[in-house]
Structure 1
Amino acid sequence: MTYKQFEDLPVWKAAINLAGRCEDFLEMAGSNISRGKADQLDRCSLSVSNNIAEGFERGTTKELLAFLYISRGSAGETRSMMRFFASRPKLKPHAGLIGEIAKAAESCGRQLRAWADQLQNSDIQGQRHLNEESRSNYNKRQQGRKSRESFQEKVRARVLNLPDGDPAKKRLAEMYEIDLEEGS
């Protein structure tokens, strides 16, 4: 799926929710958390969504990837702070919320990692690099990939339909890397 603005991204929505929950936690915890730690949690939790937004708006895959990794680091920092707060006796009444926030931060980190992995394997360099020629080349590569997959599926079906005793069946299965056990 293609997203036109960062506000539509599921991971950005999860990150905004994470920052909001951290803010709610800080309000509930009040004076049981030092001003410095409260400020740090506020900053790192909001940094997750802000870096997603900044990377998305940059227009290149390379820059987006860099900001996704920064965002993932901020999600890890948020989770680390929640683990610290979970160990503080004065914050035991908030243990449930602390655990939920830590899980939400971990989820954001996993989503960011999956997106980054996908982008690293992409041929698209980003909006800044898109022009008619690059779009045309990308579409041709996609068409070629689909044609190859269609051809391979037709060959697979024909090979699997050959009689089990046919010597060509085994040879063709090896040549086209078809698992004969799968077709049984």
Structure 2
Amino acid sequence: MATITEITDLKTWRLARELNQDVFKVILSNESIKDFALKDQINRSCGSVMDNIAEGFGRGGNKEFINFLGFSLGSLSEVESQLFRAIDRDYISNKDYELISDKVKNLRPMIISFSNYLRNSGFKGPKWKVEEPEGIYTKPKNQNPELKNQNLKPGTVNPHPKTLN
């Protein structure tokens, strides 16, 4: 299994990017489609598929990543619905519909499988790794020698409070 260090290492993100490129070629760059609301909506939802994968990856933890993969699935369903509207209105050909629809159908199980993998893996992401030096959490040594042996009881007031300059 390959180590994932960049968003471009993720197959799911790469396929989402291909989907985005195909939607642009087929629908967004088609000047004969005058339904600007549909073009805008499919552009935003298609972009949201890859953007949510990227944002989840950038969060650095499994729980948030899984959450963003869920958002990505929701956006993918929007793209699918918008494709039906495009074909129903004769904006795109059956061939173009199949091209994009096949990517949607391939991407959905990939996102679900990846989400399940993250949910069941022992790896929790760098967000929960603590690699700070242990010494920063230890109590500082008493720097004031005259207070060293006072043994104050809890609740008593220090007769020689340290003042800050």
Q: TM above 0.5, one fold? A: yes
- Is the 2:52–2:71 contact (alpha carbons within 8 Å) kept by the matching residues of 1? yes
Q: CA deviation at 1:31?
A: 3.5
Asked if 1:95 is matched to 2:94, the reply is yes
Post-superposition offset of 1:46: 1.0
| Cα contact 1:83–1:102 (8 A) shared by 2 | no
Residue-by-residue CA offset, 1:148-178 (whole Å, 9 max, x unaligned): xxxxxxxxxxxxxxxxxxxxxxxxxxxxxxx
Aligned 8 A contact 2:42 2:79 in 1: yes
Q: Unaligned regions of 5+ residues in structure 2, if any?
A: 132-165
Cα distance between partner residues in 2 of 1:95 and 1:29: 15
Q: Which residue of 1 aligns with 2:38?
A: 37
Letter in 2 for 1:11: T
Task: Tell me if the contact between 1:59 and 1:127 (Cα under 8 Å) persists in the aligned partners.
Answer: yes
Give, in whole Å, the separation in 2 of the partners of 1:76 and 1:110: 12
Please tell me whether the aligned partners of residues 55 and 68 of structure 1 are also in contact (alpha carbons under 8 angstroms): yes
RMSD (Å) for aligned C-alpha atoms? 1.6
Does residue 1:72 correspond to 2:73, yes or no? Answer: yes
Whichever of the two has the greater Rg, that structure is 2
- For normalisation by structure 2, the TM-score amounts to 0.73
Partner residue in 2 for 1:50: 51
Amino acid at match of 1:35: F
CA contact (8 A) 1:55 1:65 kept: yes
User: Which residue is 1:19 aligned to?
Assistant: 20
Distance (Å, rounded) in 2 between the aligned partners of 1:69 and 1:13? 17
Segments of structure 1 that go 5 or more residues without pairing to the other structure are: 133-184
Q: Please identify which structure carries the higher helix content.
A: 1
Shift of 1:28: 5.2
Higher RCO by CA contacts (8 Å cutoff, separation 6 or greater): 2
Number of residues paired by the alignment?
130
